[in-house]
Amino acid sequence: MKNINLILWVLLVNLCVLPVNSQNQTLEYPFAEPGTDVSRGVFGDDDRKEVKDAEGFKDFVRATAVMIPKTAIYNNEFYAWSLRDLLKRQFGTDKFDDNVKFLDQPTVGSCTGFLIAPDVLVTAGHCINSMEDANKYVWVFDYTSDSDFVDGKKLKFKPENIFEVESIIASDLTEDNKNDYAVLKLKKKSNRAPYRFRTSGEVLLDGPINTIGCPTGLPLKFTTNATVVDTSQETWFKSDIDAFPGNSGGPVFDKNGFIEGILVRTTAEYSFFAGKYTGDYKYDYWCDCVKTVSFQDVEDNPGCASHRITKIPVNILISSVYENLEYALKNKLDDRFKSWSTYKWIFNHNYSDTNGRFEKMALNYSNDYALGIVLEYTAEKLSDDSARELIDFSINKNDIETLKVILDKGIFADAGMSSTHTALQNAVINNNSKLAETLIYYGADVNIKTKTNDNLLHIAAKNGNKSLVEVLVKKGVDAGAKNKDNKRPEKIAKANVYKDLAKHLKKARKGKL
């Protein structure tokens, strides 16, 4: 077996995070199209709590992952010190102040990350900045206080909760701290509901925020009772959120669960015992014990900084919105589709034009629910040819219910001015009474004629469809009209040996029905 001490030393080294060097506004709509106007300490009381106690945030917990070094894994088991043992080794004492929480929990985590699409995970750039970095770690979901920590040194995770990185979509880490993010593509998709994120507007000064992460490598913790305290910087904002090393890369989200930023920087105080700055725990000579680093406010210290999610390359945000909608549509996850349709601009965006419009996608996957939502935003902007394409798709599948969805959303029943026949004419030609009646109900022109001057009764007479003829007559189609060959509908019916229908049409022409 590998040397456990070495493994744990690597874990401790990886629990690092970069410290930060020592106007009110109106909340804007967060989901508009991009570019449109629209080691950390504790502040006061320690507001971290187990994620299982974070009521209403279950999906967000499930979408939050923890980065764990592969050096901590042996025979599919994950090795780690308990927080108690880790701090004892670090400070050389087994005395702890009452403000040190979670002492008997494992510290296997390194950084935190969160899903913004089924296979797209966001973290801090100082956690992962190259594939060389990425290949040293796995990302694990459902690392909670309920995880089985055996003999104070090892854990096991379900294989389906363990993910590796396939590629780095984008990563940026600048020395001036303006940029600090990494967007990773995972090797497999997760069915967990990803976080939604801000694409427009600005984070609200004094607005409440939360985070989920693995402080000091502990199982995921939920932190609340925090606010945004400074929005003066272009690419990041400052808060008084309770966060430690290990929280790096974690989601910073508002009360509705949409991402405002990526937790990347911390405040710290100088530890004379360690001879360096510390942002989580310190040795206190007065009590001869280990204490949690604590600050009363952020007025005289840097606070915790978060990289603004809107400063991630715009194309990544756009593609993530698209991928979430596509995944929900294909898998008929109606609630998720409705949630992501808040980014309604994507339906008419050129990205959708290039990668596949959602109207056609919904038709291909027989998802009338999604189709209805999409058409709420696109029906008025669809070209005449595109509208006709949707109608023809449902007609070719003889799908009346889908046709009703299309027409209910305002698509013109006679769309397709460049087509040889209207959809109604085709329905009559194909002897499809139900389809014809549906189109008529939605306003299709019953008086339309072909180039040879055949009206709908001429066409119906050729097929011998008496019930359809009756409908057309009731709708006022002229039974006495003559076509280019000077023939009335009754003669067409007689020529095709539909004698009863010919008599019926003659009575209709004379007004004797």
What does the CA dihedral 384, 389, 392, 397 come to, rounded to 10 degrees? -150
80: amino acid identity, one letter:
A
Write down the pLDDT at residue 255. Answer: 82
Question: What stretch(es) of the chain map to CATH 2.40.10.120?
Answer: 4-311
Say if residue 16's pLDDT is above 50. no
DSSP secondary structure letters along 324-381? HHHHHHHTT-HHHHHHHTT-GGGGGSHHHHHH--HHHHHHHTT-HHHHHHHHHHHGGG
Note the residue count of the chain.
513
pLDDT in tens, 276-307: 555 678 888 889 899 887 655 544 455 678 89
Euclidean distance between CA atoms 327 and 243, whole angstroms? 33
158: amino acid identity, one letter:
K
What pTM, to 2 d.p., does this model score? 0.84
Write down the pLDDT at residue 257. Answer: 85
Euclidean distance between CA atoms 386 and 384, whole angstroms? 6
Q: Which of 40-49, 139-148, 260-269, 443-452 has the lowest mean pLDDT?
A: 40-49
Cβ atoms within 10 Å, residue 225: 15
Confidence band, pLDDT 50/70/90 cuts, at residue 48: low
32 or 479, which is more confident? 479
Three-state DSSP state, 455? coil
CA 444, distance to chain mean position in Å, is: 38
425-435 mean pLDDT? 94
Pairing of strands 42-43, 294-295: parallel
Euclidean distance between CA atoms 193 and 360, whole angstroms? 24
Say if residue 275's pLDDT is above 70. no
Write down the pLDDT at residue 296. Answer: 52
Cβ within 8 Å of residue 121, ≥6 positions away? 65, 113, 114, 115, 139, 163, 165, 183, 184, 186
Cβ atoms within 10 Å, residue 419: 16
Euclidean distance between CA atoms 73 and 156, whole angstroms? 10
pLDDT in tens, 412-424: 999 999 999 999 9
Cross-strand bridge partners of residue 106: 82
Per DSSP, 161 falls in state G
Share of the chain above pLDDT 70, in %: 86
| CATH code assigned to 4-311 | 2.40.10.120
The rounded mean pLDDT for the chain is 87
